[in-house]
Structure 1
């Protein structure tokens, strides 16, 4: 029996796994605070629902990862304070994020989260950690598809210039 076999939870974490999880929840906590702010700024009902879904997902992921880090004696990254609830009309027009901007930032964060999950999976020796981040990756891919659909339906998706003139090859 090898040193990395048996009960996964009894195996030591290596420094890459620790750093990956610690960094992941550090960024997730920042995203959580940003999404709370975005909820105050959005006027679109569907975008608000997506933001609320994202904040619930972050809460769950953060709690799960924090439990693992605590069980292994790792200090947790700091959490930013909860953001207060504000009414959209109370935020001056020039100081508001608009819905397409919020949606674009969400899309970028989802994309970065997918890369982070893949990187953590790739460096894991503990299968339970790799499977956990595989689940997070799948969740992000699903919410990314929702975000893409929302961006298309609302007309917020701005594609780069489309390459429609393909040169003709002569032989």
Structure 2
């Protein structure tokens, strides 16, 4: 049951990420940010397909899936509801941290080698992609660091 639940949880998170990517594409004209969004979506679709295939072969019920959002003109989105490029990139970074955590937890509990390999590959993809986002964030001054801890 644990391995099936791990697949289902990550697949459900991917549904949210894929939907968010489509919404985010409607909020920016920044080429670098659009590239990050498209790469996030591309990786999400690859991971979703891999999990879909595994889950189908193992008779595990799939998640509800994500519903594609229509593309709209970025200028038609009011500024009061449009996320900034920094917000978009930070949200993608948080989703990567969540993905890594879900997959690390799943990997540590898996008994099946085939599923361990799937989760390990996803973690590797997430780390590599996360590094490219960190480079853009640092270049733009968006990389945020927690304050230094000074014990009393």
Within 5 A, what are the aligned runs for 1:117-136?
117-136=103-122
How far the C-alpha of 1:86 sits from its partner, in A, is 1.2
Alignment correspondent of 2:17:
31
CA distance in 2, matches of 1:114, 1:52: 19
Q: 1:17 maps to which residue?
A: 3
Which residue in 1 is equivalent to 2:95? 109
Q: What is the TM-score normalised by the length of structure 1?
A: 0.84
Identify the range of structure 1 (64-73 vs 16-25) with the bigger mean alpha-carbon deviation.
Answer: 64-73
Unmatched 5+ stretches in structure 2: none
Q: Distance in 2 between matches of 1:99 and 1:162?
A: 26
- Runs of 5+ in structure 1 lacking a partner? 1-14
CA contact (8 A) 1:43 1:99 kept: no
* TM-score after normalising by structure 2: 0.94
Equivalences, count: 152
Q: CA RMSD in A?
A: 1.6
User: Distance in 2 between the 1:79 and 1:132 partners?
Assistant: 19
Rounded Cα–Cα distance in structure 1 between residues aligned with 2:97 and 2:9 = 16
**Per-residue displacement from partner, 1:70-109 (whole Å, max 9, x unpaired)?**
1111211101310111121110111101111111111111
